[in-house]
Structure 1
Amino acid sequence: MKLFCLLTLFFTLTIQAQFQINGIVTDSNRKPLPFATITTLDNNNTITDVDGKFDLKINAKTSTFSVSYIGFQTKIVALTDHKKFYSISLSEKTDDLKEVFVSNENPALTIIKKVIANKNLNNPQKKLSSFEYKTYNKLIVTANPDSIDGRIDSSAAYKDFNKKTINIDSSDYKFKEIISKQHLFQTEKVSQYQFGNNKLKETILGTKMAGFKQPVYEIIAFNLQSISVYGSKYELFETKHQSPIADNAFSDYNYKLLDTVPIQGRNTYMIYFKNKKKRKSNGLEGVLYIDQENFAVAKAVMRIKGVLDISGIHEFEYVPSEKIWFQSKTTFKIVKGKNNDDIKILGGTIQFDGDVEDNFEPRKKSASDFTYLLSESNNFDIHYNTNTPIKNPSLYIEIKDDASKKPEEFWNTYRKESLDLKSQKTYQLLDSISISKRIEKRLGLGRKIINGYLPIGPIDLDLKKIISYNNYEGFRLGVGGITNDRFSKNFRIEGYTAYGTKDGVFKYSLGSGVLLDKSTNTWLNGSYTDDVREIASTVFAVDKRVFKIYDPRPINISTFYKYISWKANVQTKIIPKTEAVFELARTYVEPKFDYLYNLNGQLYSSYVMTTAMASIVWAPFSDFMQTPTGRTETDKRFPRFTFQFTQSLPNVLENDFTFSKIDFKTEYEKKYLNGQKTSLLLQGGVAMGDVPITHLYNTMPNNLTKETVMQRITFAGRNSFETMYFNEFFSSQYVFFQVKHGFDRIRIMKKVRPSLVLVTRMAWGNMEKPEQHVGPAYKTLDKGFFESGIELNRIFKGFGLGGFYRYGPNQLLKFEDNIAVKISYVLDLGL
């Protein structure tokens, strides 16, 4: 009995000792104030979220709490019995952050300097040799039903008792009814993170996505926020920003010391930071809580308020044994921002009002105006300096084969709290909607169309093969395709046939492949092809297929060679961060233009080449994801390198020539925080031995031999010389360099936002044994070739215009012959 009374008293006191209040903090105009600080006398504190809302657990003895915000007067709020929600309005002060000058006198600046100086001592990825932990993540797209007008609202009309016609609309009413019962989207994930040898790997043990039996791996790989706050760049929603604690952060940020706040019994400085620049794309702001003793980050709130209102919160726990703050929880949230345009996110369109402008009439809010995305991750089972070997450390993300098949017991083990009724219904309802509306099938269809295929039963129809045009074949009409998973997951058949209306010849190809290893995407393939190809063109076997509805450059090509080829190759990603093709081929070649190849006095009008080829692309800085369906590159980073070596095989299958070819390409791309981008391309090749002109180099010309500039107007190529005429130059060795710098899009009108790109290209080449090539007249590039130009892309509906000028040693006598005007087209798929 005494024990019962003691327990009853204990639980009663426990219940009375702590309860939760919530509320919202606004300014005098009722606009929410994010990051406002809520503090009690016993040093219990929190901050408001991006909507100005807060939750605070307080003790029964607490009678007041204070609310403070940058540039506003602090307010003391008295607690009232039985009152759970508090609406607090703050009055603005006269001083503001704009009046704060960053100088040596600024205490916040002094603190941030010490944070930067001590980063390596406080960054877990620098201080610890290794660590590992598990994370439970839940992401929802939802809305607060209380914020939605529940009045019936769809173009129905009725008359009230006063005989007045009132238009009503039911969409808001229906949306509120739906959102009261379920979320719009929901996914859960359990991961194990391992760090060692300066590499961090995520292994996904379980994943569950409402409406999908097979998870959408693109969403899983989507980077919502940086894992670490100590990097030189901080990432929010796949956009990188200069970190407020980067080495050179002082030139970009203002800092202000707000307060000192205890966190887990350790005193911290509360420092507000804001980007000096007024551009919304550079508008990172937030609050850093800095440990007063070791100057580590004890909590961080990062925020961007622009087209979207995005916030990322990092919470840490102090580990005395390691003397380090280790991340325990991250929160990511997106709500609507201020802009006049609609945006697309996760495949759907979100509307929102813009800032008030002249003659701008705000539209009626729709249901999506209340929608937000919330992602929360909780870390647990943390171990330090374990030195456990990491399996496949080159992978950034690895998804276990059974990750999407975990039973409910698995999820109940890792969930911090069990799913509420609303979340349970979300899975049930979205799964049924997905089946009824065939969402997964439609998503798969969209993926294939983007890559140029249209699935028809067990076959994916190749859209690139349907129609094209060039000066040799005329209109090329055809059909082609490849079998898909409905036919077989381990075996495929592919092929095409085409007919040229000008040359009157059928072309065709037939091939098959067998899957050797699913995890490394290793295939063994064989094919037979009878077709034509542009002479002296460089093709890297590992280059990704690029689907264009309309590829303009081949239209102007008239010099082709016929080839009949038997090929066997192995495609694989078995080597980390690479993709490779190893190939054996026997090819019969017949030039379809006036050409003879002279080898030691013997003239060849056709010939046989038996070759072995190795082609590999290496992306050492990219992130790769291993899924149950194979390995993919999730984050393409630069530089990346492509190598290709081709060797003829003397006396094998009637091979006529002995030669070697080495081809190389490296690409580099740098994106700037202000929306600009610089791209560099260096490419070269060397052909050694006896090589006919069909297999040499033409350095991608794209200009017609017409009299006037207007007659030469065509579509621009991707990396081609726009002022170089077709068949003007040939080389047995060459080097090509291109630099492009693109500026952020300029808004001229609402739907006219062109992007300016500056382009410079140059090439050098040489021709060994020119006496071997009989027939065509050509020049060499031993003096170099130079052109520069300006592209004004996406002026309207994807169309743009560019102008290029040829200069240097190979400049032509007539001024107008050195000028090329090109039309560009960029297809925006909203990806």
Structure 2
Amino acid sequence: MLLFFTAHGQQQLRGLVIDSNTARAVSGVSIVAGNRVTATDINGYFEIEVQQLPALIKISALDYESQEYRFADVFPKQIKVHSKPKQAETIRNATALLQKVIANKRNNDPLKKLQTFEIEAYNKVVVTANAADVDAKLDTVYKRKWLGKKRMEIDSSSVKFKALVQKQHLFDAEKVSKFQLSKGNFKETITAARMSGLQTPIYELVAFRLQSFSVYENYFEVLQTRYASPLNASEQDLFQLTILDTIQLSKRNLAVLHFENKKSRKKGLSGILYCDLENFAIAAAVFRVQGVLDVTARYEFSYDAESSLYIISKKEFKVVKGKNNKDISILGETFQFDPEDSPIYRTRKQQLTDITYLLSQTHYENPKLNTEVTIKKAAIALQINDAAVRRPVSYWNEYMQRYPDEKSPETYRKLDSLVRAEGIESKLRIGRKILNGYVPFSFFDMDLRQLLSYNNFEGFRLGVGGITNERLSQYIKFDGYYAFGTKDRKAKYSLGTAVRIGKFSSSWIGAGYSDDIREIASTSYTIDKRVFKLYDPRPINISTFYNYRSVRAYAETKIIPKTESIWQFQHMEVTPLFNYLFNYNGQVFDNFTLSTFQASVQWNPFSDFMQTPTGRVEIYKRYPRFTFQLTKSVKDIFGSNFDFQKLDVRVDYQKKFIGGERFSILLEAGMASGAVPLTHLYNTAPNNLTKDRLLQRITIAGKNSFETMFFNEFFSSSFAALHVKHGFKPLQISGKIRPLIVLVTRGAVGTMRNRERHVGIPFKTLDKGFLESGLELNKIYSGFGLTAFYRYGPNQLPRLEDNIAIKLSFMLNLGF
């Protein structure tokens, strides 16, 4: 091994570890200095802090002998060390050690052993680069002009970049938190937060969890992706284990245990566990994920003799550009990557992204164990106090003195000035609105979803609408829209208003009037947020709608933990816009009046939520997720004609795999009883045209619709439907052709009570069930794809061609 060291402020040592025979970087090397531990990144670099000089550094690496180096006040530029591959200890010994660590997890994990726990934390995140790594020189580049002529230009970007990172970071953010554990609840409360360039931090970035809080979790989380951990008893067989060395840390004897995922070395979890040989606790840890990005998550602990626990003292999270066999393009910018076997000395020109990295460091202090802790609003995993974003500069200066960073003041000064000059904060606000389907104009946000759409009944639907925003008021809002169909020549409109009655619970009460149309027998959950889509393929082919004129009063709240709910009363006049009569108790209705009470609830029990000064946000979306809706129509209230009840349930489950695969299950069910018109029953989302030839039926595929089921073919008063999908990682055919292969199976079953009541429209029932399976080839080229589905089972049609549906698909990727 060859090590090249530099010192920063006589406290920070920076080194490079390479193999002396091959001159290639050695990654994943354990570095110990005093009570500090770290590991080399994918390029062989490491940084470690020493308390004083001279310093003793110990290195342990897979397939190399352990070595020690002592440095005095003067550091040599280069040190050459030749080592021989060593015989690793038997897997049996390493496995036995890990099993003891797992067996003692509950006794060593503070979050499991302690009744209460509280600790303060200061976190700093920077995007930066080491100026010494920048190859700063003026380059000559040639740019081709019209008629084939070339123009010579001077490229000084590396020189400017070096001058920049010598004085400042590219980005800087800080927060001060308090972590509390009590009665099984674990919560982070942010008491101060700031971001360079922004008066108000982006709350989603403040809340973004880069790594797991505890090393003992069964699934270790990196950038919101879960990886199988070696400390999961059911996943031990996934890992290759090796004992690298034994060391002393805080006067306790530790074993240095290296682990690596056997099946997926490039995409699985690897790292080093420093295991206490007396109580088999984790005394320090380094976790790594290698791929297009190389991620290192490091943990340091302080041993508390009174409780016999290792208490977290520091966390570090570093992301550098990894290695990949192909260059990738992100938002139009192409990034070059070195392949897996690239030597440390590159032949290609250095890019600035090669040496730019993200670094997050969290320092913990003042731990309180088994003392009285009261957690307010325990259902909220993370809370940002109102005063957190209004801390004065003097407050932050205290932390700057405790954790010095000479680049930080200049970073804030320059970025604050740049953001003000460029109006970036306003642009971020506009961008956030556009992603949610709105364009802000002063105090009014125009709704992009109302501008243009198409269906078989209205033709092109042209409209305008929107909602007032926080610039008008944070306590009252007005919304509305006006639309016109070019085919039916009818106007539709809606007006509404709401008043906020609870800030913490995001509670509003409101009222509104609407005159519009809706697809018959469609299941619509009031709690669902209307998602912004550039296009919605399924309604294009729908022809059967009903008109409704409704007045509603509602209350919207998040007061119940991990839920959103809407409670409303609605009075509506319904007119079917197709050939239909409802025959009930000897009376025939071609239009009718309904007065309904409704409760619509979205429950996400496994998700985490953040409370901010502006409202509550779901920050970690986890599955399964449950939606419930109960509807009760009462006869004779304001002239209501019918008495009926409906219960609708939806369960959504999704799982992402390490290799890029995705699996999802969607279960939908509904049950209606009483005098229910066909307009308010169930059609299970068909998406196939009633055309004779297969090619005539080619349209655009929906997301969770039955592609071989014809429109208005089946209706039910009670039903259950299951959608199962498994998406494989992209198939590499060529540089631009990388289709996403998805296998899909769908099934539905249902019944129809009092079928004789529904006159004028022929239909079948789902008593015998409905089955279809298919293959989606999404994003074959520029977002366009092709899908094919086949209908089988009891409701299979006699002619083979009629059971086949071929559809186009389109997936828009904005790069977010």
Q: TM-score, normalised by structure 1?
A: 0.91
Partner of 2:61: 69
Partner of 1:36: 29
Counterpart CA distance in 1 for 2:418 and 2:732 is 40
CA deviation map 1:562-582 (0-9, x unaligned): 111111111111111000001
Partner of 2:511: 526
CA deviation map 1:136-194 (0-9, x unaligned): 0011000111111222348599xxxxxxx986311111111111111100001000000
Instruction: Output aligned runs, 1:763-778, within 5 Å.
Output: 763-778=748-763
Closer, same or farther: CA 357–312 of 1 in aligned 2, 3 Å: closer
1:23 offset after TM fit, Å? 3.4
1:101 offset after TM fit, Å? 7.1
Aligned AA for 1:188?
E
1:335–1:373 contact (8 Å) kept in structure 2: yes
1:351 aligns with 2:335: yes
Closer, same or farther: CA 751–352 of 1 in aligned 2, 3 Å: same
Closer, same or farther: CA 570–694 of 1 in aligned 2, 3 Å: same
Partner of 2:4: none
CA deviation map 1:518-556 (0-9, x unaligned): 222111121111111111111001112211101111011
1:23–1:87 contact (8 Å) kept in structure 2: no
Partner of 1:725: 710
Partner of 2:183: 197
1:434 aligns with 2:419: yes
1:274 aligns with 2:267: no
1:301 aligns with 2:286: yes
Closer, same or farther: CA 420–251 of 1 in aligned 2, 3 Å: closer
1:382 offset after TM fit, Å? 0.6
Counterpart CA distance in 2 for 1:154 and 1:496 is 57
2:323–2:340 contact (8 Å) kept in structure 1: no
Instruction: Output aligned runs, 1:629-778, within 5 Å.
Output: 629-778=614-763
1:477 offset after TM fit, Å? 1.0
Closer, same or farther: CA 54–476 of 1 in aligned 2, 3 Å: closer
Aligned AA for 2:299?
H
Closer, same or farther: CA 671–239 of 1 in aligned 2, 3 Å: same
Mean alpha-carbon deviation: is it higher for 249-258 or for 668-677? Answer: 668-677
SS of residue paired to 1:33: coil
SS of residue paired to 1:395: coil
Q: Structure 1 unaligned segments of length 5 or more: list them.
A: 1-17, 158-164
Partner of 1:25: 17
1:326 offset after TM fit, Å? 1.2
Counterpart CA distance in 1 for 2:313 and 2:730 is 39
Counterpart CA distance in 1 for 2:582 and 2:432 is 46
Closer, same or farther: CA 736–636 of 1 in aligned 2, 3 Å: same
Partner of 1:10: none
Instruction: Output aligned runs, 1:319-358, within 5 Å.
Output: 319-339=304-324, 340-342=326-328, 351-355=335-339
Closer, same or farther: CA 38–788 of 1 in aligned 2, 3 Å: closer
1:90 offset after TM fit, Å? 4.7
1:671–1:677 contact (8 Å) kept in structure 2: yes
SS of residue paired to 1:714: coil
Closer, same or farther: CA 92–827 of 1 in aligned 2, 3 Å: farther
1:573 aligns with 2:558: yes
Aligned AA for 1:273?
F
Aligned AA for 1:354?
D
Closer, same or farther: CA 479–61 of 1 in aligned 2, 3 Å: closer
Provide the identity percentage: 46
SS of residue paired to 1:225: coil
CA deviation map 1:647-680 (0-9, x unaligned): 1122211111111111111111122233222211
Counterpart CA distance in 2 for 1:721 and 1:125 is 47
Closer, same or farther: CA 715–89 of 1 in aligned 2, 3 Å: farther
1:336–1:352 contact (8 Å) kept in structure 2: no
1:72–1:91 contact (8 Å) kept in structure 2: no
Counterpart CA distance in 1 for 2:97 and 2:32 is 22
1:411 offset after TM fit, Å? 2.5
Closer, same or farther: CA 438–89 of 1 in aligned 2, 3 Å: farther
1:554 aligns with 2:555: no
1:24–1:88 contact (8 Å) kept in structure 2: no
1:439 offset after TM fit, Å? 1.5
Counterpart CA distance in 1 for 2:367 and 2:198 is 31
SS of residue paired to 2:716: coil
1:461 aligns with 2:458: no
1:385 offset after TM fit, Å? 1.0
1:70–1:96 contact (8 Å) kept in structure 2: no
Q: Structure 2 unaligned segments of length 5 or more: list them.
A: 1-9, 144-150
1:244 aligns with 2:235: no
Q: TM-score, normalised by structure 2?
A: 0.93
Closer, same or farther: CA 810–681 of 1 in aligned 2, 3 Å: same
SS of residue paired to 1:729: coil
Aligned AA for 2:75?
K
Closer, same or farther: CA 829–61 of 1 in aligned 2, 3 Å: closer
CA deviation map 1:82-116 (0-9, x unaligned): 5235544554645687xx874xxx21111001011
Counterpart CA distance in 2 for 1:39 and 1:482 is 58
SS of residue paired to 1:298: strand
SS of residue paired to 1:250: helix
Partner of 1:84: 75
Partner of 2:147: none
Count of equivalent residues: 793
1:256 aligns with 2:248: no
1:731–1:780 contact (8 Å) kept in structure 2: yes
1:606 aligns with 2:591: yes
Counterpart CA distance in 1 for 2:24 and 2:154 is 28
Structure 2 counterpart of 1:407, from 387, 392, 417: 392
Structure 2 counterpart of 1:57, from 50, 53, 60: 50
1:238 offset after TM fit, Å? 2.0
Closer, same or farther: CA 101–743 of 1 in aligned 2, 3 Å: farther
Closer, same or farther: CA 637–83 of 1 in aligned 2, 3 Å: same
Partner of 1:517: 502
1:35 offset after TM fit, Å? 4.3
1:26–1:88 contact (8 Å) kept in structure 2: no
Counterpart CA distance in 1 for 2:176 and 2:671 is 50
1:24–1:86 contact (8 Å) kept in structure 2: no
1:229 aligns with 2:229: no
